[in-house]
Amino acid sequence: MNTRTEKNKEIQTKLEAEKKRSNIKKAVKFFIKFTLCLIIIFFSFFFYTKYYSTTGLIVKEQRIKNSKIPTSFQGVKIIQFSDLYYNQTISYKEVKKIVKMINLRKPDLVIFTGNLIDPSYNITTKEKEKLITELKKITSTIGKYAVDGQTDNDSFVTILTQSDFTILNNSYDLLYNEDNNPILLVGLSSLIQKKRDVDKAFNYFQAETHNSNIYTIAIMSETDGLDEILNSYNNDLVLAGNSLNGQIRIPPFQGLITKKGSKKYKNPYYKVGDSKIYISSGIGSPDIGFRFFVRPSINFFRLSN
């Protein structure tokens, strides 16, 4: 016959075993819930960065004020788009939408700042013709201009030239609008491709008849070396691309992915001395194929004196 002590010990052992089983069940449930939460967070993050953040093109609008802007350029509208990386996350269907968005704003000046086609894509002649057909539909009253980026090659030249873009690689153009007071547009070729020639691009300022007070816009893809350019030549407005504003931005940190050629300047806006610098977040999503808190965009500027 079991004594009371033995019975109590047996009951205590059963209670401890039940408690142990209960704790194991709780731990298993917690682990399952925790794992499910991680899976949901991962797939939510993946869906957001891969499919939501890389679509839904937005327009960033800014008014550019400067007393040097001629009266004839008062209210002139500039569209800058950049880093298309065609066939990475941007298809022909998206290109058609982009063209419509640009034309909807009736720009006077359209600027493309490099990286037209994804470097891993061997574009066909038929695709080139389709792109030319669409990009040719972009309308402007003053002109359409472009500079090359690090991924651009002969296809870039063919497509944009036949789409009525003037390629300003290390060259400049005097832009007129209704009277004889121009502004200066300077284009710098790709630094990464070792094509950039700053002095050649700013050759206007070497001419004896140059206007040292002319309002100057510089366009480029990569911004490395920009400090030296600003120290040597007047630049009132700089429009650049390539950096994609870091592609991943997690507050309080800024762009986490640094692109070759855009080590220092990668945020959307800087002011250096009297120069205003706007860097496009681009349209395509190269390399990793996703974005986080950096939506694809085009820049829309209105000039004002």
Q: What is the pLDDT along the chain (305 residues), one digit of tens a residue?
A: 556 666 667 777 776 777 777 777 776 666 666 565 555 444 444 444 444 444 578 999 999 999 999 999 999 999 999 999 999 889 999 999 999 999 999 999 999 999 999 999 999 999 999 999 999 999 999 999 999 999 999 999 999 999 999 999 999 999 999 899 999 999 999 999 999 999 999 999 998 889 999 999 999 999 999 999 999 999 999 999 999 998 888 777 777 888 999 999 999 999 999 999 999 999 998 877 778 878 899 999 999 99
* 232 and 300 part of one domain: yes
Report residue 247: phi and psi, to 5°: 65, -35
Rounded to whole angstroms, the Cα distance separating 60 from 298 reads 6
Q: Are residues 205 and 252 in the same domain?
A: yes
Does 110 lie in the same domain as 164? yes
**Which of 16, 34, 52 corresponds to the end of one domain?**
52
Q: Quick one: 48 and 77 in the same domain?
A: no
Q: How far is CA 144 from CA 108, 136, 214, in A?
A: 9, 10, 20
Based on the fold, state whether residues 107 and 249 are members of the same structural domain: yes
Ranges assigned E (strand) in 40-128: 58-65, 77-81, 109-113
Of the residues 52, 75, 93, which one is the last residue of a structural domain?
Answer: 52
Range of the domain at 188: 58-304
55 with 47: CB under 8 angstroms? Answer: no
Q: 80: closest CA among 128, 163, 134, 140?
A: 140
Retrieve residue 268's tokens: 């959307």
Task: Give CA–CA dist 300/81, Å, rounded.
Answer: 9
The answer to whether the predicted template modeling score (pTM) of the entire model surpasses 0.75 is yes
Please indicate, yes or no, whether residues 125 and 236 belong to a single structural domain of this protein. yes
CB-based contacts of 113, cutoff 8 Å, min separation 6: 80, 81, 82, 83, 146, 147, 149, 219, 220, 221, 239, 240, 241, 242, 280
Asked whether residue 41 falls in the same domain as residue 75, the answer is no
> What are the Cα distances from residue 267, in Å, to 27, 241, 245, 287?
45, 10, 5, 19
Going from the C-alpha of 192 to that of each of 42, 177, 255, 303, the distances in angstroms are: 35, 34, 20, 31
Predicted pLDDT of residue 41: 44
Q: Structurally, how many domains does the chain consist of?
A: 2
Q: Residues 52, 54, 58, 63: is their CA dihedral positive or negative?
A: positive
